[in-house]
Structure 1
Amino acid sequence: MSARLFARARVPLRPLAAIVRLFWAERGPRLLAGALLAGVTVLAGFALLSLSGWFLAATAIAGLSAGTALAFDVFTPAAAIRFLALARTGGRYGERLVTHDATLGVLAGLRERLFRGWATPEAARALGLRPARLLFRLTEDIDAIGQLYLRVLVPAGAAVLLALVAGVGLGLVAGSGPGIALCAGLMVVGLGLPLAGARAAYRHSRRRAYATESLRARAIDLVAGQTELVMAGRLPAQCEAVARADRTLAEADLALNRIETRVGAGFGIAASVLVAGALLLAGVLARQGTIDGPVAAALVLGALAVLEPFAGLRRGALELGRILLAAGRLGPRLTDRRPLRGPLRAEAGIAVRVSRVDLRQRAAHRTLLDDVSLTILPGERVALVGASGAGKSSLLGLIAGERSPTDGTVESLCATLLTQRTELFQDTVRDNLRLAAPTASDEALWEALTAAGLAADIAGLPAGLDTRLGEGGLGLSGGQGRRLALARLLLRDTPVWLLDEPTEGLDGETARAVLARLTACAEGRTLVVATHIRREAELCDRLLVMAQGRIIARLARGEPGFDAMLAGLRPD
């Protein structure tokens, strides 16, 4: 691959080379076995066609007289032909089986690495703002990287191997000059045509990838936001945006199809020239008495097969732009093996310790937390109170490891965070709960639902725990969804629970019943509750009052001001 192509692609060689190393690390021996089987397949096909040409010509000549017909050995070449046919078929089957199995294994490993990369603080949050892009990275980009092996490396390796073998074979028959010329010509034409196609297709394949991603994103926005688009009068504009992305995709597909047709035509012309050259060479050599008729036939038919593996690179050349784009997007994330930056492990006798922490939102250049320090002992119950935007949720995110501080240090025991946003999935109630405890029994699930005040509601559903929810928990009310998320928290056996407005959206009676059961379940655990509701703060023995990203007051139960601060919170 020329350096100019990589420069034009604006993709550094390091991520691409690192991805190749990851391929080897994940399934190296199987990938090598698949490449070897591909080589065996093309060599068997080349040998089969050449030997068949020799055999047909030899039997025809031998049949001209009874003496030569009786002396001619039919069985040995016939057996060789059958063996090569079986070898070609078996090699092709084994190659497809091994290469695809190895590729799927590699892609599974790459997806696991990708998920680990997104597990770093704020990485998943940033991608979560653009779900279409997240889906594209997991599907199209990973699949594109898989094409690097299947459509580029394996066909190129098999084709180069065949070119070398064909050159050596011709050299043995006709001399070193024709053998070197054949090998060099195959390399120049067989690799040059796909490379030219790759360069021509690079811009269009990138355009196609961007258009596909844009089409998905806009279609998702159109379907999910119909009500908002109608109210804002933007529905026609969104439909036009979808149609525009579709037109761009169609134009890119058309351009790529034209390039593929031209490359195919180039291979057709090259094959015709090669066969014509083989005919001329065979005629000259036969006239000189260097070879006989059957060998001449083998040369001509062998020429028909020698370009076939190079033609297989045609599709890979068109995919190369997409492969390079995916490598540039995913390479740094896949190759970054640094440990996850989460909270440090708290020392004995400490549940949570935050020391001189600053947190800034880089995109908005806004300070979320400013010089915050606190220490929470095991078993303590602490409430973070203050107006919206004071920094309560940001502090919980730091303790949970979902964010990393700009300055300062965070130490914590293993913690579970219940966020303000209820995250439910299009799955059964049982599987939504088992995200927290995959091995939990149904009895444990019902206990958690009972503690969250949701057992009666779920029992009343036709399928109970097997009831399937829609996207985002569709099928449950907002309050029911909140209690289901709380039940999932209760299944997590961690020493620290972080609750961000746990009963928001529940009526007062239900909320008080849930809090009473939550208090019983949290016995012995450390609770940190972010709230502006009085009933939630009353669970706690210490209040940390926050404003503008700072802790401005620390009040313990029994101290002056504690009851007054509770009284100033929003009533039930």
Structure 2
Amino acid sequence: MSKPNDMAAIARFYLSASGRSLLLGIILTAATVAMGIALLGVSGWFITATALAGMSLTSAIAFDVFMPSASIRLLALGRTVSRYAERVVTHDATFGVLAQLRERLFLGWSQPAAARDLAARPSRWLFRLTADLDALESVYLRLAAPCAAAIGAAALAGLLLASVDPRLGAAAFLALCTLGLGGSAMVMRQAWPHAVRRAKALERVRSQTIDLVAGQTEWIMAGQLDAQKARLWGSDRRLAHTDLALNQVDVIAAWIQGVVGAVFVAAVLLAAAECAATGVATVPMMALAVLGAQASIEPFGALRRGALEAGRTWLAARRIAPRLRAENEALPKIRAPGANVACHLVDVFVRYSCEHRAAVSGFTVSIAKGDRVALIGPSGAGKSTLLSVIAGDVTPNQGKAAGLPATMFTQRTELFQDTLRDNLRLANPAADDTRLWHALADAGLAQDLIGNGAGLDTPLGEGGIGLSGGQSRRLALARLLLHDSSVWLLDEPTEALDASTARDVLTVLAQRADHRTVVIATHLHREAALADRLLLMRAGAVEQDVRRGTPEFDAALSALRPD
């Protein structure tokens, strides 16, 4: 996508998510700036007019001090209230939009291909959810709102100066817009490549830090710890260089903005003085005009800070915009099969973008309700991919796939830093404690927890720290039993388990399968023995389809790796 299209997609999302609040925030921002300009201008007019009035007794008695002083107090209070309301509204609207954007990203990552990428590069996608989304807050807080406030300030300053001389007001408005917006555009252009490089360098540092900390044991065993530390140090140096470059751009831009602002105020002062000398304006009006013009420069400073981060904001938009999906398209569902059929695949072809050879090629099979099928074959034959197709986690590149809703029991047990209860309720949020205990008992884990004391409130660390490998597997089995599903997809359910634990798991699966359809991907004899039908796969295709009670079934089963 191009830069305009990326930013346009993010802008449309902002407007659709919280358009009214964003507009209210811009109005409050402009009101705050306007009251600030008016406060400084009226204060200057009041001080000057009071000084002049005090030069004679008659004018001092006739001078009304109550209305200007009341106006100053009103403007001061109004500016304070408006500033507070502006911060609350703009930040609340921005955080609300970002929260919805995170939800949309999660829905987008539920897409089969995106989920695979997420599993392959979790640190990259974590960066999308954190740093990139934080960068998108600049779209409104540091670009859109300050730009609107700056233009409003220029317009108000032009009106104040137009009360002295219309030509002066028009010239001041054009000068502020040209110098302020043009200067911000130049800052954006100079800072853009540095901001992009800084965002990429920061992501590289975070990713390498995570790799170093999480895999330090493997780095030490491979003798590569020092090399990894050196790579991290080099990335950190490059990040420091980009920070320095951005700081230099900011310092130079701030200096130029200060000089241009001083020249602008000086020019307004000379023009106002000429108007006062010719009698076109009074001295108090001259003070009001000059101080109002000076205050109108302030919003362009905030816009400059947004311009410095524009490159980072665009990079975040470019990364996130393609992931935006309509809610009804985010979770594609596999089609329902015909009557008495649990799964039906016709000429299914799957090839991952990172691989040359197809994982599944021309696969056609029909599985009836209640069947127990084992997918057997060497590693890389496509067994796990086929399970993912049946589950709807992988969308075929070609062919048709239809199936009933399925629950997948994978080789990897995903546990989170939370209580045991909440880890179980991932499978069934409505399950009460009684049902949770029944599932734990069926999985053979209840006895381990009864003597624990904490029971279902037992805290688990990240990745299930606190449970052994066998206990983690049993907990995953309990989640499988909790989920109401008519199809079970088991991907090597007892791999890496000791013989005793494996027998227990398989016994529970056999007992609780009931009338469910069970599809097992395996190369172990003990797992395939649960099946009544064997599909021998090679190179992503079915080489043999045999059923229990035939010599071919017995031969295929006996050829599998023993327990």
TM-score of the two chains, using structure 2 as the length reference: 0.96
1:297 equivalent in structure 2: 287
CA distance in structure 1 between the partners assigned to 2:43 and 2:155 by the alignment: 21
Q: Which moved more, 1:272-281 or 1:146-155?
A: 272-281
One-letter amino acid matched to 1:251: H
2:519 equivalent in structure 1: 528
- How does 1:315-330 map onto structure 2 within 5 Å? 315-330=305-320
Secondary structure of 1:473's counterpart equals coil
Q: CA offset at residue 533 of structure 1? A: 2.1
Residue 50 of structure 2 corresponds to residue 34 of structure 1: no
Secondary structure of 2:112's counterpart equals coil
Q: CA offset at residue 291 of structure 1? A: 1.0
1:4 equivalent in structure 2: none
CA distance in structure 2 between the partners assigned to 1:469 and 1:411 by the alignment: 37
Residue 216 of structure 2 corresponds to residue 226 of structure 1: yes
- How does 1:221-300 map onto structure 2 within 5 Å? 221-300=211-290
1:201 equivalent in structure 2: 191
One-letter amino acid matched to 2:455: G
2:439 equivalent in structure 1: 448
Q: Which moved more, 1:35-44 or 1:68-77?
A: 68-77
Residue 6 of structure 2 corresponds to residue 15 of structure 1: yes
2:89 equivalent in structure 1: 98
Q: Deviations over 1:309-363 (max 9, x none)?
A: 1111121011100011111111111256645444222233221111111122331
- How does 1:24-63 map onto structure 2 within 5 Å? 24-63=15-54
2:206 equivalent in structure 1: 216
One-letter amino acid matched to 1:141: D
One-letter amino acid matched to 1:220: I
CA contact (8 A) 1:11 1:324 kept: no
Q: CA RMSD in A?
A: 1.7
CA distance in structure 1 between the partners assigned to 2:477 and 2:325 by the alignment: 36
One-letter amino acid matched to 2:119: G
Q: Deviations over 1:123-145 (max 9, x none)?
A: 12113222221111001111111
Q: Which moved more, 1:495-504 or 1:123-132?
A: 123-132
Q: Which moved more, 1:459-468 or 1:135-144?
A: 459-468
Q: CA offset at residue 446 of structure 1? A: 1.6
1:401 equivalent in structure 2: 392
CA distance in structure 1 between the partners assigned to 2:483 and 2:278 by the alignment: 87
CA contact (8 A) 2:534 2:547 kept: yes
Secondary structure of 2:393's counterpart equals coil
CA contact (8 A) 1:155 1:312 kept: yes
One-letter amino acid matched to 1:563: D
One-letter amino acid matched to 1:131: P
Q: CA offset at residue 116 of structure 1? A: 1.4
1:379 equivalent in structure 2: 370
CA distance in structure 1 between the partners assigned to 2:237 and 2:321 by the alignment: 30
Residue 498 of structure 2 corresponds to residue 507 of structure 1: yes
Secondary structure of 1:290's counterpart equals coil
1:130 equivalent in structure 2: 121
2:552 equivalent in structure 1: 561
CA distance in structure 2 between the partners assigned to 1:407 and 1:300 by the alignment: 71
Secondary structure of 2:485's counterpart equals coil
Residue 436 of structure 2 corresponds to residue 464 of structure 1: no
CA contact (8 A) 1:496 1:526 kept: yes
CA distance in structure 1 between the partners assigned to 2:88 and 2:44 by the alignment: 30
2:170 equivalent in structure 1: 180
CA contact (8 A) 1:541 1:557 kept: yes
Secondary structure of 2:163's counterpart equals helix
Q: Deviations over 1:29-59 (max 9, x none)?
A: 0000000000100000001111111111111
CA distance in structure 2 between the partners assigned to 1:224 and 1:551 by the alignment: 40
Paired residue for 1:486, among 477, 485, 508?
A: 477
CA contact (8 A) 1:282 1:299 kept: yes
CA distance in structure 1 between the partners assigned to 2:229 and 2:423 by the alignment: 34
- How does 1:318-467 map onto structure 2 within 5 Å? 318-335=308-325, 338-461=329-452, 463-467=454-458
CA distance in structure 2 between the partners assigned to 1:86 and 1:300 by the alignment: 23
Q: CA offset at residue 484 of structure 1? A: 1.5
TM-score of the two chains, using structure 1 as the length reference: 0.95
Where structure 1 has 5 or more consecutive residues not aligned to the other structure, the ranges are 1-9
Secondary structure of 2:370's counterpart equals coil
Q: CA offset at residue 395 of structure 1? A: 0.6
CA distance in structure 1 between the partners assigned to 2:456 and 2:247 by the alignment: 50
Q: CA offset at residue 245 of structure 1? A: 0.9
1:3 equivalent in structure 2: none
Secondary structure of 1:361's counterpart equals coil
Q: CA offset at residue 538 of structure 1? A: 2.3
CA contact (8 A) 2:164 2:275 kept: no
CA contact (8 A) 1:11 1:325 kept: no
CA distance in structure 1 between the partners assigned to 2:452 and 2:393 by the alignment: 35
CA distance in structure 2 between the partners assigned to 1:459 and 1:159 by the alignment: 66
Q: Which moved more, 1:331-340 or 1:207-216?
A: 331-340
Secondary structure of 2:550's counterpart equals coil
Q: CA offset at residue 81 of structure 1? A: 1.1
Where structure 2 has 5 or more consecutive residues not aligned to the other structure, the ranges are none
CA distance in structure 2 between the partners assigned to 1:143 and 1:269 by the alignment: 32
CA contact (8 A) 1:111 1:138 kept: yes
CA distance in structure 2 between the partners assigned to 1:510 and 1:131 by the alignment: 31
CA distance in structure 2 between the partners assigned to 1:202 and 1:234 by the alignment: 35
Secondary structure of 2:280's counterpart equals coil
Q: Percent of counterpart pairs with the same letter?
A: 52
Secondary structure of 1:274's counterpart equals helix
